[in-house]
Every structure is written in structure tokens, then in C-alpha cells.
Amino acid sequence: MARKHLAETILLILVLVYTVNFINANIDPSEVKILPVREQVLWTRGEADVHEYRIPVITSTVSGYLIAAVEARKYGSGDASNKFLAVRRSKDGGKNWEPQQFLLNDGPHVKDGVNLGAILTDRETGVVFINYITCGHNTDINCTASVHMINSTDEGYTWNEPVNLTKQIGNAPFAAGPGYGIQKQYAPHKGRLIICGHVHLTGSQCILSDNHGLTWRFNIQGVYTIPYNQTQKTGDFSPNECQMVELPDGSIMLNSRNQYHYHCSCRIVAMSYDGAETFPIPYISFDEALIEPACAAGLLYHQGIMFFTNPKNTKSREKLVLQWSFSNGTKWDNEYTLWPKLTAYSTLTAIPGYIAYEPYIYILYEKGSKEACESISLIIVSIDGSIL
């Protein structure tokens, strides 16, 4: 009997802790007022003798710092080309940014260099991970696709030597994100690290770690292409670049690029209820409100609201729009145009409001007037009208 009462007491404490966190992390829909309060270009084409900067990713650290990373494409615009990884850090909520660091110089003779995948903060250990792939485009017969992880144990001040994950996950051309990985905050598999992406010709899949990034493995079942592992064409089902979020019930929502416009020029959505181990077919759908020209997009769940960014256009990459939902994406309640001209990839982050109320989200995106990738810009958006 004593053990029963003890178990009930522990359960009650856990419920109360969860409830307090949940309340602190939400904002009443009536209080939402979207207001861009600051915008700053972090990278510009040609800066530091780099031809072009692309593929923005961003995360917040356990101390509330922001870390942004991009591909620094040295000599050309191609996905398969020579690159650095460029990283910048802000310690004051995005107001000021430290000079960029260049990491992972892949050398002048590499034909198929570094492609940035996802950034991830382990909020239990404080370690920040950046995932990337090399030789992912099959353009160089002298190299084989391999997935790597680089990490920082001091919130982006310094970075450790990369780890090649080939022995753990094989040499499948797994291209993460681009965007951010997550650490599960709720059961099942609380604490698990998850990075989702796609494998050429086979569809969306995730890599998982249950030991704080020491080892990684593929999940059991992804969202697979139709036809599977074959050359694809317009009209085929082909989930591609993706971003996932965890919802308060512990489920995972995976929102993917619809590469060949199967069913619609809109996003593919898949749900997992077992910590991203599987994405069963009955839980795969299309969000016809989220139209797209086939492009990477941003997704974030913060303060009880789901946010989404992409070029809201079925034909071309232009007009970056922020949409938000109070019902976990079952309906999109409103939208705000952030940039009316050319744009491409975007990503979002926030400083978690588990304890204190945090009214800002951070949107990092590719921006241009004549071409979509002339710069990488950061917009700080207040979600309740607060001014910095």
C-alpha cells in the first residue's frame, strides 16, 4: 500500500511539473501580435571572398546564445562544389553577432564537398552538434557518401574534430534537414536526439541517438518514395528536405518538401507516435494550405503555437511568408509576409520558454532582389507585439 501511495505521489509531481512547464510555454491566441522588430544581414554574397552563402541553420544553446551556420560556397553556386562551413554566434538574443568562423575547409580540389544538414542542441549536456554530408551527389567517382558530426562543448566558441558516422549508419547519402534536430522533451523516449532528412531516391528518414550523440542509428521506418529507389519524375511521391517538431503529447510531426508535386504543390506531413522510430502510412497526409514551389521550409513549435515559413508560391521561390497555427497545424490561423521578393530556404528557432516567458522567434532565410540567394538575413519577430 505504501508503495502504491509513493507511486501515485511521484506521478502527481510529474504531472504538476509537466503542467507548469506547459502553461509557462504557452501564449493565449488573443495575445498574439506578430511584429518584426529587427532584421540584420549575417552573410552577403562575395563577402570574405566567398562566392555565395547558402543553406541557413540556427539553434539556441542552453545559455540562450544563438548559433547560426551556413555553407560558404567558395567558387560557385552549385550544391556539389568546394565549401567551408561558416558559423556565427550571438550572446545577446540576436542583437549583435561575433565574427564568423570558417570550419571544415574541404580543399581546392574536392568536386563534391561539404553539404550542411542540421544543427542540434542537447539541452541536458549543453553540447551543440552540426551534422553534414560529404560526397552526397555522386559527382565524384573517387569518393563515397559519408555522414559526419562536429560538436562544440562550449556553446559554439570552439569546435571539436568531426566524427565520421559511416561505421554506425553506413554510407547511404543521408542529407539531413536542412534545419535543426530536436531532443525529445516528453515520453516516449524522452531525451532522445533526432535528426531527420532524406536519402536520394528512397525518401525521408531519421537518425536517432539515445546516448547524447555518442552513437547514432537509422530509425525503423521512414516516409518512402513511390516508386521506391528508382528514377523519379514529376507527379511521383517523393518526400525530400524536411523539418520535424515535437508536440506536447510527445508525438513527432515531420513536414517535408514535396519534390515532384504529388497530389498538390503543397507540403507532405507525417506523424510518429514512437519517438520517430516509425512514420506509419495511415499518418501521412498533405497540408494543402501550405503551398510550395518545392523548397526547404521552416517549422517551429513555440509557446503553444506552430510557426511555418516558406516561399508561399506554387511556381517560383518568392514571397517569404510566416504562418501560424493554434491547433498544431490542423488549421493555419493567419500569416505575415516577411519579404515580398525572391527567397529560398528558411529556418526558425527560439530560446525555450520553459521557465521564463520568451516572446521572440528567430527566422534565418535566403534573401534577394534579383536572385534568391544574394544574402542570408535574420529577422527577429515578436509574437506578442513586444519591442526589444
Q: Which three cell numbers stand for residue 341?
A: 521578393
Any domain includes 78? no
Catalytic residue status for 366? yes
pLDDT at 183: 98
Question: 187-216 burial, b for 16+ CB within 10 Å, e for fewer?
Answer: eebebbbbbbbbbbebbbbbbbbeeebeeb
Q: Which residue has the higher pLDDT, 278 or 11?
A: 278
pLDDT at 9: 38
Question: In 140-283, at which residue ranges do the beta strands (DSSP E only) sit?
Answer: 146-152, 163-164, 174-176, 179-180, 182-183, 193-199, 203-209, 217-218, 223-224, 239-246, 252-258, 266-272
pLDDT at 109: 66
Which of 26-35, 101-110, 200-209 is least confident? 101-110
Q: Summarize pLDDT for 334-387 with one digit per residue, the tens.
A: 999 999 999 999 999 999 876 567 899 999 999 999 999 999 999 999 999 998
Any domain includes 62? no
- What is the rounded distance in angstroms from the CA atom of residue 104 to the CA atom of residue 342? 29
Structural domain harbouring 345: 2-42+118-382
C-beta separation of 238 from 222 below 8 A:
no
Query: Among residues 9, 21, 26, 20, which one has the least CA distance to residue 304?
Result: 26
Any domain includes 81? no
Catalytic residue status for 384? no
Any domain includes 84? no
% of the chain residues with pLDDT over 90: 84
Q: Summarize pLDDT for 61-103 with one digit per residue, the tens.
A: 999 999 999 999 999 899 988 899 999 999 999 999 999 999 9
pLDDT at 257 over 80: yes
Q: How confident is the model at residue 8 (pLDDT cuts 50, 70, 90)?
A: very low
Q: Summarize pLDDT for 279-299 with one digit per residue, the tens.
A: 999 999 999 999 999 999 999
Any domain includes 335? yes
Q: How confident is the model at residue 143 (pLDDT cuts 50, 70, 90)?
A: confident
Q: How confident is the model at residue 106 (pLDDT cuts 50, 70, 90)?
A: confident
| CATH code of the domain covering residue 244 | 2.120.10.10
Q: What angle do CA 68, 292, 179 make, to 5 degrees?
A: 20
pLDDT at 314: 97
- Number of structural domains the chain divides into: 1
pLDDT at 71: 97
pLDDT at 355: 52
Any domain includes 57? no
pLDDT at 241 over 80: yes
Q: How confident is the model at residue 112 (pLDDT cuts 50, 70, 90)?
A: confident
Q: For the chain, what is the mean pLDDT?
A: 92
Catalytic residue status for 161? no
pLDDT at 12: 36
Any domain includes 215? yes
Q: How confident is the model at residue 25 (pLDDT cuts 50, 70, 90)?
A: low
- Taking phi first (over 0 means left), then psi (-120 to 50 degrees means alpha), and beta for anything else, what does residue 155 get? left
Residues in the chain: 388
Q: Which of 122, 277, 366, 374 is catalytic?
A: 366
Q: How confident is the model at residue 111 (pLDDT cuts 50, 70, 90)?
A: confident
Burial class (CB in 10 A: 0-12, 13-18, 19+), 258: buried
Q: Which of 39, 47, 79, 140 is catalytic?
A: 79
pLDDT at 104 over 50: yes
pLDDT at 174: 97
- What secondary structure does DSSP assign to 144-177, as a single string? --EEEEEEESSTTSS-PPPEE-HHHH-S--EEE-
Say how many Å lie between the first and final Cα of the chain, rounded: 54
Any domain includes 112? no
Which of 36-45, 132-141, 171-180, 195-204 is least confident? 132-141
Q: Which of 65, 180, 301, 345 is catalytic?
A: 345
pLDDT at 7: 37
pLDDT at 356: 63
